[in-house]
């Protein structure tokens, strides 16, 4: 069992978890229409920082704000840094993690989780395993991605973007919006804080590299695993991926029904933050912690047929 | 943990369970030659980027050495790979399709601009519905505690993993060292 | 038209990485998706890009794609009518 000691979000909606949560509650959105942001790229709708941010300083800022709320010493050898990102700092994923670790004087080699859109949830699971096995005592999990010409052009070539604010789980949905953010959760074996990470699971659909299983084979198995030992009615909230692409949301609906969770409240946060890629599993888990009272599941799915889910419980 | 099979692939050599498989070609041509000689029944191989081809052919050879029945849907085997350079070779190929002078972004290249796609390709080929995960690490030894703790996750369905290093920085610079590892 | 069909076959082979395939292996009437060549959703997107790059055709509506991509011949007919380069 690992415990959430502190967390932090920085996004176009604000600096700090509480500021972001309140912006969501007030119905604010970071989504804007961009006509000429990147050369040759068609106009798109996304949640981007007003001032362009640099990857490493943004991650350091988020981690610093979270660490401040705890007693952990980031340079201690019982602390590991786990970075969740898909494109890192201009396609380099390891160097930024090393620079962040160096900034905090942490001499353990950082771990970068790059499992497509599930990376953030997978990073929590990796942290849980490394902490529960006693290898480390605390993990600083940072999720971050910034939008570039590279990413936006690719999603446009996939015809996956909506040029209007996205509509997760709506019959009218027609695609996703991308987003920028950095978010941090500090996990620990110390029994502190309200929320603990009870279970995590990762499964592949074994179906197609870019299209989810219509019968939700991977996502259903993730839900099944993390619900071992709990009743479906104990789960009050399911934080879905909810990209608002036709196939993703249909697949998640099937997974939720197969797992007996149709009663639970659905939390789909992309209309506020866009799809923040490597940050999504960290940022959205934090918003779920601030929303739920007792117990929730956060799930994600991504390219490569991979699905991941975690269950968090409030003590 | 128990290792039952191991393969090492460099641009000039293939060593399976300690035995060198003689190659006439090198680099990516060698990977294509290995595919023709040892698989040749999966045309999707030609759509894959070099990183996926490397992981795919390494796994094919490992599983042929293992000799168990193939393509049976299962969720007791994980695919856990790691490298230093993520998907950089294919990222650069994709970048060529979005130059300002000649802007035609290729969806077929963009889909491979994530390193974990190789684990997905292996899962799809072999009908593995267990865990798939990809890590970017400084050195291969960092992966072992990750594999061990993955296999020992209490409520998981896993008994074994195809796990190891799978790195590619261009069509003729790659290295794979992948094993079949059992929980006990 | 027959010349365009042959050129298109070659472009499809290159764009979709059909190793070992020659234009003669592709039946111009055969379905591109499902049976026939067995293309998938990423291939469809790559063909949309091919139409844009080689013939200056922007296929905005994915629904019209279904008709266009029925076969190599239907693609060639569409190109003949709509090409801008």
Domain A2-188 has CATH 3.40.47.10: yes
What pLDDT score was predicted for residue C59? 85
Domains of chain B, each with CATH number or no CATH: 2-182 (3.40.47.10)
How far are the Cα atoms of A140, B17, B45, B53 from residue B177, in angstroms, in the given order? 29, 11, 20, 14
Strand A295-302 and strand A237-239: pairing? parallel
* Nearest by CB: B153 against A92, A115, A129: A129
Q: Which residues of C touch B104 (CB under 8 A)?
A: 49, 52-53
| Stretch C72-78: mean pLDDT | 94
DSSP H or E segment with residue A68 = helix A55-68
* Nearest by CB: B142 against A109, A210, A304: A109
Would you state the CATH architecture of domain A195-314? 3-Layer(aba) Sandwich (3.40)
Q: CA–CA separation, B168 vs B82, rounded Å?
A: 11
For residue range B98-114, what is the model confidence (pLDDT) as tens digits? 999 999 999 999 999 99
CA-based nearest residue in chain B for residue C56: B104
Best residue of B35, B43, B49 to probe chain C, by most C CBs closer than 10 Å:
B43
Residue C64 pLDDT > 90, yes or no? no
Give the residues of chain A that fall short of pLDDT 70: none
- Residue B133 to residue A115, Cβ atoms within 8 A: yes
**Domain range annotation of chain A:** 2-188, 195-314
Cβ atoms of residues A147 and A247 within 8 Å: no
Q: Which of residues 128-157 of A touch C (CB under 8 A)?
A: 157
For residue range C15-63, what is the model confidence (pLDDT) as tens digits? 988 877 889 888 999 888 877 777 888 999 999 999 999 999 988 766 6
- Residue C45 to residue B107, Cβ atoms within 8 A: yes
Q: B32: number of CA atoms within 13 Å, CB side?
A: 16
Cβ atoms of residues C59 and C79 within 8 Å: no
What pLDDT score was predicted for residue A243? 98
* Nearest by CB: C46 against B32, B46, B108: B108
How far are the Cα atoms of A4, A312, A314 from residue A292, in angstroms, in the given order? 14, 10, 9
* Nearest by CB: A210 against C42, C48, C62: C42
For A71, the token pair is 């007693």
Q: ipTM of the assembly?
A: 0.97
Q: Which of residues 142-201 of A touch B (CB under 8 A)?
A: 149-150, 153-154, 156-158, 199-201
- Residue A204 to residue B119, Cβ atoms within 8 A: yes
- Residue A211 to residue C49, Cβ atoms within 8 A: no
What pLDDT score was predicted for residue C62? 63
Chain C nearest-CA distance from A59, in A, is 33
Structure pTM? 0.96
Neighbouring chains of B at 3+ CB pairs within 8 Å? A, C
Alpha helices in chain C (DSSP H): 2-15, 41-55, 62-68, 72-82
How far are the Cα atoms of A229, C23, C48, C81 from residue C3, in angstroms, in the given order? 66, 12, 20, 15
CA-based nearest residue in chain C for residue B106: C46
- Residue C49 to residue A210, Cβ atoms within 8 A: no
Give the residues of chain B that fall short of pLDDT 50: none
Neighbouring chains of C at 3+ CB pairs within 8 Å? A, B
Chain C nearest-CA distance from A158, in A, is 7
CA-based nearest residue in chain C for residue B105: C49
Chain A nearest-CA distance from C64, in A, is 14
What pLDDT score was predicted for residue B139? 98
* Nearest by CB: A211 against C41, C49, C62: C41
Q: Which residues of C touch B106 (CB under 8 A)?
A: 46, 49
How far are the Cα atoms of A200, A230, A265, A310, A312 from residue A227, in angstroms, in the given order? 9, 5, 16, 9, 11
- Residue A159 to residue C62, Cβ atoms within 8 A: yes
What pLDDT score was predicted for residue A153? 98
Q: CA–CA separation, A160 vs A303, rounded Å?
A: 12
**Domain range annotation of chain C:** 2-82
Q: What CATH fold (topology level) applies to the domain C2-82?
A: 1.10.1200
How far are the Cα atoms of A40, A104, A136, B18, C67 from residue B133, in angstroms, in the given order? 34, 27, 20, 27, 39
């Amino acid at each position: 069992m690992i415990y959430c000691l502190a967390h932090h979000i920085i996004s176009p909606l604000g600096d700090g978890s509480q500021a972001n949560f309140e912006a969501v509650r007030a119905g604010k959105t970071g989504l804007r229409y961009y006509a000429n942001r990147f050369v040759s790229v068609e106009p798109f709708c996304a949640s981007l920082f007003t001032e362009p941010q640099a990857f490493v300083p943004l991650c350091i800022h988020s981690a610093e704000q979270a660490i401040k709320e705890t007693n952990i010493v980031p340079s201690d050898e019982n602390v590991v840094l786990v970075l969740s990102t898909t494109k890192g700092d201009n396609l380099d994923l390891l160097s930024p993690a090393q620079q962040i670790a160096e900034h905090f004087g942490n001499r353990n080699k950082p771990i970068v989780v790059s499992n497509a859109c599930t990376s953030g949830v997978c990073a929590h699971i990796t942290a849980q395993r490394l902490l529960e096995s006693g290898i480390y005592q605390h993990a600083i999990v940072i999720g971050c991605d910034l939008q570039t010409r590279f990413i936006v052009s690719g999603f446009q070539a996939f015809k996956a973007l909506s040029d209007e604010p996205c509509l997760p789980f709506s019959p009218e949905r027609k695609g996703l919006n991308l987003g920028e953010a950095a978010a941090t959760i500090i996990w620990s074996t110390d029994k502190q804080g309200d929320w603990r990470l009870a279970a995590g699971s990762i499964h592949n659909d074994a179906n197609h590299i870019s299209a989810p299983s219509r019968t939700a084979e991977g996502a259903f198995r993730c839900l099944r695993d993390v619900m071992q030992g709990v009743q479906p009615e104990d789960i009050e909230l399911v934080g879905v991926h909810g990209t608002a692409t036709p196939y993703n949301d249909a697949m998640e609906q099937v997974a939720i029904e197969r797992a007996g969770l149709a009663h639970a409240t659905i939390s789909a946060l992309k209309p506020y933050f866009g799809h923040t890629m490597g940050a999504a599993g960290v940022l959205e888990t934090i918003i779920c912690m601030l929303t739920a009272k007792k117990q929730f599941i956060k799930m994600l799915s991504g390219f490569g047929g991979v699905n991941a889910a975690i269950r968090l419980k409030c003590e | 943990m128990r290792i039952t099979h191991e393969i090492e692939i460099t641009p000039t050599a293939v060593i399976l369970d300690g035995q060198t498989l003689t190659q006439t070609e090198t680099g990516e041509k060698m990977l294509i030659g290995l595919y023709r000689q040892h698989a040749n029944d999966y045309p999707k191989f030609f759509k894959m980027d070099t990183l996926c081809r490397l992981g795919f052919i390494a796994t094919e050879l490992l599983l042929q050495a293992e000799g168990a029945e193939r393509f049976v849907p299962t969720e007791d085997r994980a695919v856990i790979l790691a490298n230093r350079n993520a998907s950089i070779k294919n990222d650069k190929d994709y970048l060529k399709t979005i130059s300002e002078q000649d802007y035609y972004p290729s969806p077929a290249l963009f889909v491979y601009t994530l390193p974990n796609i190789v684990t997905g390709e292996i899962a799809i080929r072999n009908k593995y519905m267990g865990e798939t995960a990809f890590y970017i690490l400084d050195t291969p030894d960092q992966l072992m505690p990750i594999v061990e703790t993955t296999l020992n996750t209490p409520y998981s369905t896993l008994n074994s993993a195809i796990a190891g290093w799978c790195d590619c920085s261009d069509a003729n610079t790659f290295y794979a060292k992948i094993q079949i590892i059992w929980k006990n | 038209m027959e010349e365009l069909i042959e050129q298109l076959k070659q472009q499809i082979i290159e764009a979709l990485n059909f190793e070992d395939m020659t234009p003669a292996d592709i039946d111009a009437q055969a379905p591109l998706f499902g049976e026939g060549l067995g293309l998938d959703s990423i291939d469809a997107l790559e063909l949309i890009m091919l139409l844009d790059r080689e013939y200056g055709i922007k296929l905005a509506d994915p629904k019209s794609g279904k008709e266009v991509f029925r076969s190599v011949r239907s693609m060639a007919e569409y190109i003949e009518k709509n090409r801008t380069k």
